[in-house]
Amino acid sequence: MTTKTIMAGFGGQGVVLMGTLLTYTAMVEGKHTTFFPSYGAEMRGGTANCSVVVSDREIASPIVNQPDCIVAMNIASLNKFESRVRPGGTIFVNSSLIDRRVGRDDVTEIRVPANEIAEALGNARAANMVMLGGVAKKTGVVNLESLSGCLEKVLSERAMPLLDLNRKALKKGFEEVA
């Protein structure tokens, strides 16, 4: 099984951290994986996205042209990547910041109020982990326990005080998605 994902948002939403954690977790679970980040000209507030491929066999290229799923953390990301998802794929929408529906009927739309859930947990910046928990649930690409366990390996020293919050956010996102 191979799962190709594009995660996108603006700088400061933790999009690259989502990709890093997914990639690291896949490696820990013994899977093949690639990670390809892309940043806009500015960091915070600019565009950011990353492509992650996870597979049970070797991966020929880290380039993702037609992903199985996208994670859209803001409207600009949904507008940019919606058309690229393969038919039958999944689009995860941060419904806290995106009010429009996906305009395709050949994909599954999963709406997650990521910012609202993160705010209820105490910090809106954990919205990325809420979304990643939902991705783990829907795709099965990695398991929740592995994601949670790998957090302390990928978080920066500065973010370590938020370790428990991020674990709670992963779990809430996992529970949010049917």
The pLDDT, as a whole number, for residue 143 is 95
> Considering its fold, how many domains does the chain have in total?
1
CATH number reported for the structural domain that contains residue 58 in this entry: 3.40.920.10
What domain range includes position 17? 2-176
The pLDDT, as a whole number, for residue 47 is 76
The pLDDT, as a whole number, for residue 39 is 74
pTM of the predicted model, to two decimals? Answer: 0.93
Which DSSP string do the residues of the chain spell out, in sequence order? -EEEEEEEEETTS-HHHHHHHHHHHHHHTT-EEEEEEEE-SSSTTSEEEEEEEEESS--S-S--SS-SEEEESSHHHHHHHGGGSPTT-EEEEETTT--SPPS-SSSEEEEE-HHHHHHHHT-GGGHHHHHHHHHHHHH-SS-HHHHHHHHHHHS-GGGGGGHHHHHHHHHHHHHH--
Mean pLDDT by 10 residues, the chain (178 residues): 95 92 98 90 70 96 94 96 98 97 97 98 96 97 97 93 96 94
The pLDDT, as a whole number, for residue 43 is 52
